[in-house]
Amino acid sequence: MNALLKYCIEPRSREEIQNFMGLKDRKHLRLEILNPLIQEGKLLLTIPEKPTSPNQKYYSKSKGSKNV
């Protein structure tokens, strides 16, 4: 997950993250990877009031942090 968090220092779409990770199943990505990272506070939403927006992007909270 560290590579994903580093990749998401810049806001990335679900599709960009899915391609980066080499995954084909959008549901698996959302349920098993994105949602847990969001719940842990490691990934943030660019549009938090609309989590299912097609324009939604995800970014890593730890910009410049050594915790990535």
Task: Look at residue 64 and tell me whether its pLDDT is greater than 70.
Answer: no
Confidence of residue 62 (pLDDT cuts 50, 70, 90): low
Q: Please tell me which residue, 1 or 5, carries the higher pLDDT value.
A: 5
Per-residue pLDDT at 65 exceeds 90? no
Q: How many CB atoms lie within 10 A of CB 18?
A: 19
Q: Name every residue whose Cβ is closer than 8 Å to that of residue 5 and which is 6 or more positions away in sequence.
A: 37, 42, 43, 60, 62, 68
Question: Cα-flanking dihedrals φ and ψ of residue 13, to 5°?
Answer: -80, 165
Q: Structure tokens of 5?
A: 């968090």
CA distances from 63 to 2, 23, 30, 31, 54 (A): 13, 25, 22, 24, 24
